[in-house]
Amino acid sequence: MAHLTKAKVYDIEDSNIALLGSDLEKHVRQEAGELEPAWEDAGKAEGLQIWRIENFHVVPWPNERYGTFYDGDSYIVLYTFKKTPEAKSLSYDLHFWLGQHTTQDEAGTAAYKTVELDGLLHGKPIQFREVQSYESTRFLTYFPRFTCLKGGVASGFHHVAATPPLNIRKLYRITLIKAPSNGRSTLIVREVAPVAESLVEGDTYVLDKGENLLQLNTRMSAGQEKFKAAEFAQSIMNERQSQCSLEVFDEGGSGFGRFLAEFGEGTVLRKEDTPVERHDRSLFRLSDASGEVKFEQLDAVRTSLSTMDAFLLDDSSSLTQPAIYVWIGKRASLNERRLAMQYAQRYLYKKQPPSGVSKARSVAIPIVRMQEGDEPDDFLDLLL
Protein backbone atom coordinates (compact mmCIF):
# COMPACT_ATOMS: atom_id res chain seq x y z
CA MET A 1 0.00 0.00 0.00
CA ALA A 2 1.26 3.44 -0.90
CA HIS A 3 2.10 5.72 1.97
CA LEU A 4 -0.77 8.14 2.62
CA THR A 5 0.19 11.58 3.87
CA LYS A 6 -2.32 13.79 5.64
CA ALA A 7 -0.39 16.99 5.05
CA LYS A 8 -1.25 17.54 1.37
CA VAL A 9 -4.02 20.09 0.90
CA TYR A 10 -6.81 19.07 -1.46
CA ASP A 11 -6.71 21.27 -4.57
CA ILE A 12 -10.19 21.50 -6.06
CA GLU A 13 -8.77 23.18 -9.19
CA ASP A 14 -6.04 20.70 -9.92
CA SER A 15 -7.19 17.19 -9.07
CA ASN A 16 -10.02 14.73 -8.79
CA ILE A 17 -10.57 12.53 -5.74
CA ALA A 18 -9.08 9.09 -6.31
CA LEU A 19 -11.77 7.12 -4.54
CA LEU A 20 -12.99 3.58 -5.10
CA GLY A 21 -10.24 1.05 -5.70
CA SER A 22 -7.57 3.48 -4.53
CA ASP A 23 -5.07 3.16 -1.69
CA LEU A 24 -7.18 5.69 0.21
CA GLU A 25 -10.25 3.47 0.07
CA LYS A 26 -8.25 0.48 1.31
CA HIS A 27 -6.82 2.55 4.15
CA VAL A 28 -10.25 3.83 5.20
CA ARG A 29 -11.67 0.30 5.16
CA GLN A 30 -8.77 -0.90 7.29
CA GLU A 31 -9.21 1.92 9.80
CA ALA A 32 -13.00 1.72 10.15
CA GLY A 33 -13.57 -1.99 9.62
CA GLU A 34 -16.52 -3.32 7.72
CA LEU A 35 -19.04 -1.69 10.04
CA GLU A 36 -18.75 2.04 10.63
CA PRO A 37 -19.82 2.72 14.26
CA ALA A 38 -20.70 6.34 13.40
CA TRP A 39 -23.59 5.12 11.23
CA GLU A 40 -25.39 3.29 14.07
CA ASP A 41 -28.15 5.92 14.35
CA ALA A 42 -27.75 7.53 10.93
CA GLY A 43 -31.02 8.28 9.21
CA LYS A 44 -33.25 6.54 11.74
CA ALA A 45 -35.23 9.66 12.69
CA GLU A 46 -36.09 12.99 11.10
CA GLY A 47 -33.56 15.75 11.61
CA LEU A 48 -29.96 16.80 10.94
CA GLN A 49 -26.79 14.79 11.68
CA ILE A 50 -23.21 15.97 11.10
CA TRP A 51 -19.85 14.18 11.28
CA ARG A 52 -16.30 15.50 10.84
CA ILE A 53 -13.46 13.51 9.29
CA GLU A 54 -10.63 13.12 11.79
CA ASN A 55 -7.59 11.02 10.87
CA PHE A 56 -9.61 8.81 8.46
CA HIS A 57 -12.38 8.35 11.03
CA VAL A 58 -15.96 9.63 11.04
CA VAL A 59 -16.53 11.53 14.31
CA PRO A 60 -19.94 12.95 15.38
CA TRP A 61 -19.92 16.76 15.40
CA PRO A 62 -21.31 18.21 18.68
CA ASN A 63 -24.89 19.42 18.38
CA GLU A 64 -24.00 22.81 19.83
CA ARG A 65 -21.54 23.28 16.93
CA TYR A 66 -24.10 22.58 14.19
CA GLY A 67 -23.81 25.34 11.59
CA THR A 68 -20.12 26.00 12.38
CA PHE A 69 -17.55 24.60 9.94
CA TYR A 70 -13.77 24.97 9.71
CA ASP A 71 -12.00 25.60 6.41
CA GLY A 72 -9.32 23.00 7.21
CA ASP A 73 -11.82 20.14 7.55
CA SER A 74 -14.21 17.87 5.66
CA TYR A 75 -17.68 16.99 6.95
CA ILE A 76 -20.60 14.69 6.16
CA VAL A 77 -24.11 16.09 6.67
CA LEU A 78 -27.29 13.98 6.57
CA TYR A 79 -30.75 15.55 6.56
CA THR A 80 -33.56 13.04 7.17
CA PHE A 81 -37.14 14.08 6.43
CA LYS A 82 -40.56 13.06 5.15
CA LYS A 83 -41.63 14.46 1.80
CA THR A 84 -45.18 14.81 3.12
CA PRO A 85 -46.59 14.50 6.66
CA GLU A 86 -48.41 11.35 5.55
CA ALA A 87 -45.32 9.67 4.02
CA LYS A 88 -44.55 6.27 5.53
CA SER A 89 -40.89 6.20 4.49
CA LEU A 90 -38.04 8.60 5.20
CA SER A 91 -36.15 10.57 2.56
CA TYR A 92 -32.56 11.78 2.76
CA ASP A 93 -30.29 14.57 1.55
CA LEU A 94 -26.66 13.50 2.02
CA HIS A 95 -23.86 16.07 1.65
CA PHE A 96 -20.10 15.98 1.96
CA TRP A 97 -18.56 19.42 2.53
CA LEU A 98 -14.94 20.22 1.66
CA GLY A 99 -13.18 23.13 3.33
CA GLN A 100 -10.80 25.28 1.30
CA HIS A 101 -7.79 23.96 3.24
CA THR A 102 -8.91 20.40 3.92
CA THR A 103 -6.36 17.71 3.12
CA GLN A 104 -6.57 15.34 0.18
CA ASP A 105 -6.98 12.42 2.58
CA GLU A 106 -9.83 14.09 4.46
CA ALA A 107 -11.63 15.04 1.24
CA GLY A 108 -11.28 11.52 -0.15
CA THR A 109 -12.38 9.93 3.11
CA ALA A 110 -15.48 12.16 3.23
CA ALA A 111 -16.38 11.21 -0.34
CA TYR A 112 -15.81 7.51 0.24
CA LYS A 113 -17.72 7.39 3.53
CA THR A 114 -20.61 9.27 1.91
CA VAL A 115 -20.85 6.50 -0.68
CA GLU A 116 -20.75 3.98 2.18
CA LEU A 117 -23.58 5.70 4.07
CA ASP A 118 -25.59 5.95 0.86
CA GLY A 119 -25.33 2.18 0.49
CA LEU A 120 -26.37 1.65 4.10
CA LEU A 121 -29.50 3.70 3.36
CA HIS A 122 -30.19 1.51 0.30
CA GLY A 123 -29.26 4.17 -2.25
CA LYS A 124 -32.22 6.40 -1.33
CA PRO A 125 -30.30 9.60 -0.45
CA ILE A 126 -29.75 12.40 -2.91
CA GLN A 127 -26.01 13.09 -2.67
CA PHE A 128 -24.40 16.52 -2.83
CA ARG A 129 -20.76 17.51 -3.08
CA GLU A 130 -20.35 20.92 -1.41
CA VAL A 131 -17.23 23.09 -1.66
CA GLN A 132 -16.58 26.00 0.71
CA SER A 133 -17.92 29.34 -0.60
CA TYR A 134 -19.95 27.61 -3.34
CA GLU A 135 -22.49 25.71 -1.21
CA SER A 136 -25.97 24.92 -2.49
CA THR A 137 -28.87 26.93 -1.09
CA ARG A 138 -30.40 23.67 0.12
CA PHE A 139 -27.33 23.00 2.28
CA LEU A 140 -27.06 26.51 3.73
CA THR A 141 -30.72 26.73 4.73
CA TYR A 142 -30.42 23.79 7.12
CA PHE A 143 -28.90 26.32 9.53
CA PRO A 144 -30.30 29.59 10.97
CA ARG A 145 -26.65 30.71 11.00
CA PHE A 146 -23.91 29.16 8.84
CA THR A 147 -20.43 30.10 10.09
CA CYS A 148 -17.19 29.19 8.35
CA LEU A 149 -14.03 29.80 10.39
CA LYS A 150 -10.32 29.35 9.80
CA GLY A 151 -8.72 26.32 11.46
CA GLY A 152 -9.57 22.66 11.69
CA VAL A 153 -9.04 19.34 13.38
CA ALA A 154 -5.27 19.84 13.51
CA SER A 155 -5.52 23.20 15.26
CA GLY A 156 -8.55 22.70 17.52
CA PHE A 157 -11.76 24.68 17.69
CA HIS A 158 -10.43 28.18 18.41
CA HIS A 159 -13.88 29.29 19.47
CA VAL A 160 -14.60 32.78 18.14
CA ALA A 161 -16.08 33.86 21.48
CA ALA A 162 -13.16 32.78 23.67
CA THR A 163 -11.25 35.52 25.48
CA PRO A 164 -8.89 36.74 22.75
CA PRO A 165 -5.28 37.85 22.85
CA LEU A 166 -4.79 41.59 22.47
CA ASN A 167 -3.26 41.26 19.00
CA ILE A 168 -6.14 39.27 17.45
CA ARG A 169 -7.28 40.39 13.99
CA LYS A 170 -10.15 38.53 12.34
CA LEU A 171 -12.54 39.72 9.63
CA TYR A 172 -16.02 38.26 9.09
CA ARG A 173 -18.06 38.80 5.93
CA ILE A 174 -21.78 38.59 6.65
CA THR A 175 -24.55 37.98 4.12
CA LEU A 176 -28.13 36.74 4.20
CA ILE A 177 -29.80 34.29 1.84
CA LYS A 178 -33.39 33.09 1.49
CA ALA A 179 -34.47 29.68 0.25
CA PRO A 180 -36.68 30.17 -2.84
CA SER A 181 -38.91 27.24 -1.84
CA ASN A 182 -39.97 28.39 1.66
CA GLY A 183 -38.44 31.83 2.17
CA ARG A 184 -36.39 30.58 5.14
CA SER A 185 -33.47 32.90 5.91
CA THR A 186 -29.92 31.86 6.76
CA LEU A 187 -27.23 34.17 8.06
CA ILE A 188 -23.89 33.39 6.39
CA VAL A 189 -20.78 34.30 8.42
CA ARG A 190 -17.48 33.61 6.69
CA GLU A 191 -14.10 34.36 8.21
CA VAL A 192 -12.04 35.92 5.42
CA ALA A 193 -8.51 37.24 5.20
CA PRO A 194 -8.29 40.58 7.09
CA VAL A 195 -6.99 42.44 4.02
CA ALA A 196 -8.39 45.15 1.75
CA GLU A 197 -9.17 42.69 -1.06
CA SER A 198 -11.78 41.00 1.18
CA LEU A 199 -13.98 44.10 1.34
CA VAL A 200 -16.76 43.86 -1.28
CA GLU A 201 -19.64 46.21 -2.05
CA GLY A 202 -23.04 45.10 -0.79
CA ASP A 203 -22.08 43.08 2.30
CA THR A 204 -21.67 43.70 6.01
CA TYR A 205 -18.42 43.14 7.94
CA VAL A 206 -17.26 42.68 11.50
CA LEU A 207 -13.59 43.28 12.25
CA ASP A 208 -12.55 41.57 15.49
CA LYS A 209 -9.53 43.19 17.14
CA GLY A 210 -9.92 41.44 20.47
CA GLU A 211 -10.74 44.39 22.71
CA ASN A 212 -12.63 46.16 19.93
CA LEU A 213 -15.22 45.05 17.37
CA LEU A 214 -15.85 47.24 14.32
CA GLN A 215 -18.95 46.69 12.18
CA LEU A 216 -19.21 48.09 8.65
CA ASN A 217 -22.57 48.36 6.88
CA THR A 218 -22.01 48.95 3.17
CA ARG A 219 -24.51 51.08 1.27
CA MET A 220 -26.08 48.19 -0.65
CA SER A 221 -26.29 45.73 2.24
CA ALA A 222 -29.80 44.69 3.25
CA GLY A 223 -31.35 46.02 6.45
CA GLN A 224 -31.73 42.51 7.85
CA GLU A 225 -28.03 41.83 7.15
CA LYS A 226 -27.09 44.88 9.24
CA PHE A 227 -29.35 43.75 12.06
CA LYS A 228 -28.06 40.17 11.99
CA ALA A 229 -24.44 41.37 11.84
CA ALA A 230 -25.08 43.41 14.96
CA GLU A 231 -26.55 40.31 16.61
CA PHE A 232 -23.42 38.34 15.66
CA ALA A 233 -21.14 41.04 17.09
CA GLN A 234 -23.25 41.22 20.23
CA SER A 235 -23.00 37.44 20.69
CA ILE A 236 -19.19 37.75 20.67
CA MET A 237 -19.38 40.52 23.24
CA ASN A 238 -21.76 38.55 25.47
CA GLU A 239 -19.56 35.44 25.51
CA ARG A 240 -16.56 37.63 26.30
CA GLN A 241 -18.57 39.02 29.18
CA SER A 242 -18.58 42.49 27.58
CA GLN A 243 -14.78 42.74 27.80
CA CYS A 244 -14.74 44.35 24.37
CA SER A 245 -16.46 47.33 22.74
CA LEU A 246 -18.43 47.66 19.49
CA GLU A 247 -18.38 50.53 17.00
CA VAL A 248 -20.71 50.60 13.97
CA PHE A 249 -19.88 52.46 10.74
CA ASP A 250 -22.04 53.09 7.68
CA GLU A 251 -20.59 53.53 4.21
CA GLY A 252 -20.45 57.25 3.44
CA GLY A 253 -20.99 58.22 7.07
CA SER A 254 -18.65 59.68 9.61
CA GLY A 255 -15.98 57.17 10.59
CA PHE A 256 -16.28 55.19 7.33
CA GLY A 257 -12.77 56.26 6.36
CA ARG A 258 -11.47 55.14 9.74
CA PHE A 259 -12.78 51.62 9.15
CA LEU A 260 -11.15 51.49 5.70
CA ALA A 261 -7.90 52.81 7.17
CA GLU A 262 -7.67 49.60 9.21
CA PHE A 263 -6.77 47.89 5.92
CA GLY A 264 -4.21 50.35 4.63
CA GLU A 265 -4.05 53.70 2.87
CA GLY A 266 -6.14 53.94 -0.29
CA THR A 267 -8.47 51.03 0.60
CA VAL A 268 -11.81 51.06 -1.26
CA LEU A 269 -14.67 48.59 -1.51
CA ARG A 270 -14.25 46.44 -4.59
CA LYS A 271 -16.94 45.18 -6.92
CA GLU A 272 -17.39 41.42 -6.95
CA ASP A 273 -17.24 39.72 -10.33
CA THR A 274 -20.62 38.32 -11.34
CA PRO A 275 -20.87 35.66 -14.06
CA VAL A 276 -23.18 36.43 -16.97
CA GLU A 277 -26.49 34.53 -16.87
CA ARG A 278 -26.67 31.97 -19.65
CA HIS A 279 -29.37 29.49 -20.39
CA ASP A 280 -27.51 26.72 -22.18
CA ARG A 281 -28.44 23.54 -20.31
CA SER A 282 -26.82 20.29 -21.52
CA LEU A 283 -27.63 16.60 -20.97
CA PHE A 284 -25.08 13.82 -21.46
CA ARG A 285 -25.29 10.03 -21.30
CA LEU A 286 -22.38 8.60 -19.25
CA SER A 287 -20.85 5.33 -20.37
CA ASP A 288 -17.79 3.40 -19.22
CA ALA A 289 -18.38 0.39 -21.48
CA SER A 290 -15.12 1.08 -23.35
CA GLY A 291 -13.09 1.12 -20.15
CA GLU A 292 -13.04 4.90 -19.85
CA VAL A 293 -15.90 7.29 -19.19
CA LYS A 294 -17.44 8.92 -22.26
CA PHE A 295 -20.04 11.69 -22.55
CA GLU A 296 -22.67 11.55 -25.31
CA GLN A 297 -24.76 14.72 -25.63
CA LEU A 298 -28.54 14.30 -25.95
CA ASP A 299 -31.59 16.55 -25.98
CA ALA A 300 -32.22 17.95 -22.48
CA VAL A 301 -35.67 16.35 -22.12
CA ARG A 302 -37.04 13.72 -19.72
CA THR A 303 -37.58 11.21 -22.53
CA SER A 304 -33.79 11.09 -23.10
CA LEU A 305 -33.32 9.40 -19.71
CA SER A 306 -32.97 5.61 -19.83
CA THR A 307 -33.10 3.20 -16.90
CA MET A 308 -30.09 1.33 -18.36
CA ASP A 309 -27.69 4.26 -18.10
CA ALA A 310 -26.37 7.19 -16.07
CA PHE A 311 -26.76 10.81 -17.19
CA LEU A 312 -25.22 14.17 -16.40
CA LEU A 313 -27.25 17.39 -16.60
CA ASP A 314 -25.11 20.54 -16.73
CA ASP A 315 -26.97 23.56 -15.31
CA SER A 316 -23.81 25.33 -14.16
CA SER A 317 -24.67 28.57 -15.96
CA SER A 318 -27.61 29.32 -13.65
CA LEU A 319 -27.03 32.31 -11.39
CA THR A 320 -29.64 31.24 -8.84
CA GLN A 321 -28.82 27.56 -8.20
CA PRO A 322 -25.92 26.42 -10.43
CA ALA A 323 -25.27 22.69 -10.23
CA ILE A 324 -24.21 19.55 -12.04
CA TYR A 325 -26.82 16.78 -11.66
CA VAL A 326 -26.02 13.08 -12.07
CA TRP A 327 -29.01 10.77 -12.62
CA ILE A 328 -28.49 7.02 -12.12
CA GLY A 329 -30.86 4.64 -13.89
CA LYS A 330 -32.03 1.59 -11.94
CA ARG A 331 -30.12 -0.73 -14.29
CA ALA A 332 -26.96 1.36 -14.70
CA SER A 333 -23.63 -0.45 -14.31
CA LEU A 334 -22.05 -0.86 -10.87
CA ASN A 335 -19.16 1.44 -11.76
CA GLU A 336 -21.51 4.11 -13.11
CA ARG A 337 -23.36 3.98 -9.79
CA ARG A 338 -20.31 4.05 -7.57
CA LEU A 339 -18.15 6.49 -9.55
CA ALA A 340 -20.82 9.05 -10.49
CA MET A 341 -19.29 11.81 -8.35
CA GLN A 342 -15.83 11.22 -9.80
CA TYR A 343 -17.19 11.29 -13.33
CA ALA A 344 -18.95 14.60 -12.63
CA GLN A 345 -15.79 16.08 -11.10
CA ARG A 346 -13.81 14.97 -14.14
CA TYR A 347 -16.37 16.66 -16.39
CA LEU A 348 -16.06 19.94 -14.48
CA TYR A 349 -12.28 19.76 -14.44
CA LYS A 350 -12.06 19.31 -18.22
CA LYS A 351 -14.80 21.81 -19.08
CA GLN A 352 -13.65 25.23 -20.23
CA PRO A 353 -15.03 27.89 -17.86
CA PRO A 354 -17.35 30.48 -19.45
CA SER A 355 -15.92 33.93 -20.12
CA GLY A 356 -15.56 35.90 -16.89
CA VAL A 357 -15.81 32.81 -14.65
CA SER A 358 -12.73 31.65 -12.73
CA LYS A 359 -11.55 28.05 -12.81
CA ALA A 360 -12.12 27.86 -9.05
CA ARG A 361 -15.77 28.88 -9.38
CA SER A 362 -16.30 26.57 -12.35
CA VAL A 363 -15.04 23.36 -10.71
CA ALA A 364 -16.45 24.05 -7.23
CA ILE A 365 -20.19 24.31 -7.95
CA PRO A 366 -22.41 21.70 -6.23
CA ILE A 367 -22.65 18.22 -7.71
CA VAL A 368 -25.95 16.44 -7.04
CA ARG A 369 -26.31 12.67 -7.47
CA MET A 370 -29.70 10.92 -7.47
CA GLN A 371 -31.24 7.58 -8.36
CA GLU A 372 -34.12 6.99 -10.73
CA GLY A 373 -37.36 7.43 -8.78
CA ASP A 374 -35.85 9.66 -6.08
CA GLU A 375 -35.32 12.84 -8.08
CA PRO A 376 -35.73 16.28 -6.44
CA ASP A 377 -38.32 18.52 -8.04
CA ASP A 378 -35.75 21.14 -9.07
CA PHE A 379 -34.00 18.53 -11.25
CA LEU A 380 -37.21 17.41 -12.97
CA ASP A 381 -38.22 21.03 -13.56
CA LEU A 382 -35.02 21.57 -15.58
CA LEU A 383 -35.97 18.90 -18.15
CA LEU A 384 -38.74 19.67 -20.66
How do residues 138-152 score in pLDDT, each as one tens digit?
999 999 999 999 999
The pTM (predicted TM-score) of the whole model is 0.87
Of 106-110, 208-212, 274-278, the least confident: 274-278
20-156 CATH choice from 2.40.40.20, 1.10.10.10, 3.40.20.10, 3.40.50.1100:
3.40.20.10
In DSSP terms, 284 is beta-bridged to: 297, 312
pLDDT in tens, 87-97: 999 999 999 99
Distances in Å between the Cα of 117 and the Cα atoms of 36, 46, 107, 157, 234 are 9, 16, 15, 26, 39
CA 54/CA 162 separation, integer angstroms: 23
How many Cβ atoms from other residues are within 10 Å of residue 284's Cβ? 20
Average pLDDT rounded to a whole number, residues 203-219: 94
Q: Is pLDDT at 4 greater than 50 in this prediction? A: no
State the pLDDT at residue 52: 97
Question: 161-262 maps to which CATH number?
Answer: 3.40.20.10
Q: Is-contact 18 108, C-beta < 8 A? A: yes
Looking at residue 287, its pLDDT comes to 80
Superfamily of domain 277-383: Severin (3.40.20.10)
Range 186-214 average pLDDT: 93
- Per the DSSP assignment, residues forming a β-bridge with 213 are 208, 246
Domain ranges of the chain: 20-156, 161-262, 277-383
Does the fold of domain 161-262 match that of domain 20-156?
Answer: yes
